[in-house]
Structure 1
Amino acid sequence: MNGSLHALLNTAAHHGLDFRFLLDAYDRDPFLHGLAVSIEIIVATMLGSAVAGIALLLASRSRHAWMAASARAFIELTRCTPTVVQLYCAFLVVNMLITQWLQQHHAENPFRPMFWVVLVLSLHQGAFHAEALRAGFDAVPAQTIEGAESLGLDRRTRFWRIEMPLALRTALPTLINNAVELVKASSLASAIAVGDITYQSIMIWTQRDNVLALMLLILLFYGALTLLVSRTGRWLEHRLWIPGYGT
């Protein structure tokens, strides 16, 4: 079996696709670790962006003008600036200021690059989630809200029991699209030396000069994950569809 694998990889290398690093634990183990780190980033930011999106939505719908205005300003700033610039500002500026302040108090900065990646991506995509949910809430029929009010439901109950379930169904295609974008944006972690699959691949191909082979693996990895997210989203759309609603 090992002989057949060696022969197969050698044949592929002869045709310009050098996957022989998979036979060497020195390169294979970091690559597999990078794959796991990428999945960890994606799962963490999926959850973080969902929380951030709901929090921004609630803030933007607040009765307090200052809170609604602050949420609106944050959403616009986040949507209108590149993700990688936000990541650099957080890691190279905010993180450095925190480090300097802690050093003055003889303490160590507990925030690692992984933290900043998850935080920035969660807040960035959370802004897009908030806008998608806002559109979903705007699509809830006024008659539905009036019916809930006539039943004596308070504002909080109407939000969680009536408006949110309906708005979520309307916004779901956009939310799933945001999730697909989030999967792809996770590769930006390599920009600040987080050891994800992209960063580990760069380290390998600088030594082995097998860029094409590793790029194909990266494309297959992200392609498979985005397809999984997209398929899951389609399943949720059919699962949560309310017959007759919106028609």
Structure 2
Amino acid sequence: MSTPTAGRSRLLGSLDRMAEWPWWLLVAIFLGLYIVFLILTDQQTQKTFWFIIGQTPEGLLNGQILFKGITITLTVTLVAYSLSLAIGLTLGLMRTSTNPILYNVASFYVELVRGVPMLVLLLYVAFALTPLAVSALNLLGIPITTRDIPNEMRAIIALGLGYGAFSAEIFRAGIQSIEKGQYEAARALGMNYYQTMRYIVLPQAIRRILPALGNDFVSMVKDSSLVAILGVQDITQLTRLYYSGNFLYMQSLTMLAFIYLSLVVFLNRLVRWMEHRLHRGYAR
């Protein structure tokens, strides 16, 4: 027989579970479904959607699959993030090195780049470093002009350099989180530095820092919108072109936010799935 105290406990437990339930998710799903409904039924919303993603329904029916806006956004994100991982891993290893030259060079780069806003870094690479690099190549006998370097490449390099500094700190933290006893065990087995990092340290470190790397990747998707300042026709730039011609600011910017949010939600779930797979494989 239940007592009044037990009944109150169950009631409080039910209230706590209701408070913790993600009610915000229902609102987000409802808004998302409403926008999808408008895309399917409202002609003006359809025009806005197709223009922003860089595709026409007629071209899609005829087999011309372009999706220019989405393609450029994802290409810039993926290539720039791959570059940032390569830079971050290199600098992270240098930051954990006992060599004072390597350590100070990496530390100087990380502290310098992390202190510069991403937009400023993007403009600096595009309009200051690119002409400087072209001049250096011309001195080496390579005939090239600044027009030969597309803005997409400049944007990718800038984002890669910027996020490389943040990735370096993530890799450094992951490497330093591995217990010293594992380094000593690797040396006792006769492994050199490269083998220790390749087979012992980095596999464990990457599992630990994967959530942080995933968050950086999602941030890169959003920061890729900065390339619109260079005229790169990603979804942000296409949105600017669209509302500058018809002044439909509300519809255009709402659709742009919806597309970015959809990409971020999908990529977040993908990162969580990767984390789950890695942890499950490690547990086995």
Q: 1:65 aligns with which of 89, 100, 114?
A: 100
1:220 corresponds to 2:258: yes
State the aligned residue count. 231
Relative to structure 1, the CA distance from residue 231 to residue 210 in structure 2 (aligned partners, 3 Å threshold; closer, same or farther) is same
Relative to structure 1, the CA distance from residue 236 to residue 211 in structure 2 (aligned partners, 3 Å threshold; closer, same or farther) is same
Q: Aligned AA for 1:243?
A: A
User: TM-score of the superposition, structure 1-length normalised?
Assistant: 0.83
Q: 1:140, 1:163 within 8 Å by CA — same for their partners in 2?
A: yes
Give, in angstroms, the shift of residue 8 of structure 1: 3.1
Map 1:45-84 → 2, pairs under 5 A: 45-84=80-119
Show structure 1 runs of 5+ residues with no match: none
- 1:33 match: 68
Percent of aligned pairs with the same amino acid: 25
Relative to structure 1, the CA distance from residue 194 to residue 63 in structure 2 (aligned partners, 3 Å threshold; closer, same or farther) is same
CA distance in 2, matches of 1:159, 1:7: 52
Deviations 1:225-244 (A, max 9, x none): 22222112211222112339
Map 1:41-190 → 2, pairs under 5 A: 41-98=76-133, 107-109=144-146, 110-190=148-228
Q: Aligned AA for 1:8?
A: T
- 2:241 match: 203
Deviations 1:29-70 (A, max 9, x none): 5x9422221111112112111111112123333454222211
Q: 1:87, 1:120 within 8 Å by CA — same for their partners in 2?
A: yes
CA distance in 1, matches of 2:145, 2:215: 39
Map 1:3-14 → 2, pairs under 5 A: 8-10=41-43
Relative to structure 1, the CA distance from residue 150 to residue 214 in structure 2 (aligned partners, 3 Å threshold; closer, same or farther) is same
Highest Rg: 1 or 2? 2
Give, in angstroms, the shift of residue 204 of structure 1: 1.0
CA distance in 2, matches of 1:181, 1:132: 14
Give, in angstroms, the shift of residue 195 of structure 1: 1.1
RMSD, aligned α-carbons: 2.8
Q: Aligned AA for 1:135?
A: A
User: TM-score of the superposition, structure 2-length normalised?
Assistant: 0.73
Give the match's secondary structure for 2:42.
helix
Show structure 2 runs of 5+ residues with no match: 1-37, 57-65
Runs of 4 or more, structure 1, over 4 Å off, are 21-24, 98-107
